[in-house]
Amino acid sequence: MPFSPVRQLFQISMLEQFPDIVFAYGVSDEYSFIWKETTQFYQRRSSKLLSLSVSYFTSVYVMKWKEFFPHKELKGPPYFDGRVVCYPRAKIVQDYLAWRQVDCHINNQYNTCFWMLVKSGKTQREAQVLLKGTQAKDKNELLFRQFNVNYDKLPQMFRKGSCVYRKKVEEVVKLDDTGNPVTRTRSKVVVEHMDIIGPKFWSELPYILKEECD
């Protein structure tokens, strides 16, 4: 899919369709869907959950194609590389998602440097040689020195990927007899681009993996 915000809509549709998916992380053409530990879909059979996820995601992809790209034909059915990873504890799930985000950063930084070099006149082989063995700091300096690009200012969607989850939001439903607001908490599926490396995100939103979000 050539346009990342469209992919985000597909991720949202997964959470809206399957309440037992509590979190999704996506970057480029790679997606992770976290099913809650107590899900009873297909008696918790991992192969069936994988098939369900891929089938629905693929069907949405095909059905929505014309809506977003009315003048471009879908040349063939989409294919996805799917896998199921069963982790026994929330901390290991957090570590897995942190690894996914680190991988997102590494790949995006490399690709940014690579294509900037190619656009500047280098061959793809020359760009590969120049980047071989470079560290993150080296790539940042290359982008700033040669192209006046501050990598940390590039869109977060590409540097950090997309996190999709149900966020608790408070809304006023009415006023009581004394005129004070009566509020309720509901869940809203949101897409955000933030750091999920380390404990900060999960400590601020502990209900995501604890299944307390109604």
pLDDT digits (tens, 9 = 90+) for 198-214: 889 999 998 888 754 44
Higher pLDDT, 184 or 192: 192
Report the 10 Å Cβ neighbour count for 131: 16
Question: Is the torsion defined by CA of 199, 203, 207, 210 positive or negative?
Answer: positive
Q: Which of residues 165 and 12 earns the better pLDDT score? A: 165
Q: What confidence score (pLDDT) does residue 41 get?
A: 85
pLDDT of residue 157 exceeding 50? yes
CATH topology of domain 6-160: Alpha-Beta Plaits (3.30.70)
Helix, strand, coil shares of the chain as percentages rounded to 5? 50, 20, 30
Q: What is the DSSP letter of 143?
A: H
What pLDDT sits at residue 211? 54
The strands making up 30-35's β-sheet, listed across from edge to edge, are: 30-35, 21-27, 162-175, 181-192
Task: State mean pLDDT over 76-82.
Answer: 72
Q: What is the distance between the alpha carbons of residues 83 and 32, in angstroms, rounded to a whole number? A: 9
Q: How many CA atoms lie within 13 A of 191 on its CB side?
A: 21
Q: Is the pLDDT of residue 3 over 80?
A: no
And the tokens for 120?
């500047």
- pLDDT higher than 60, residue 35: yes
Q: What is the pTM of this model?
A: 0.81
Highest mean pLDDT among 1-15, 42-56, 99-113, 160-174: 99-113
pLDDT of residue 213: 42
Q: Which two tokens stand for residue 21?
A: 């998916």
How many whole angstroms separate alpha carbon 136 and alpha carbon 176?
56
Q: Where are the domains of the chain?
A: 6-160, 162-208
pLDDT of residue 104: 92
Average pLDDT over the chain reads: 85
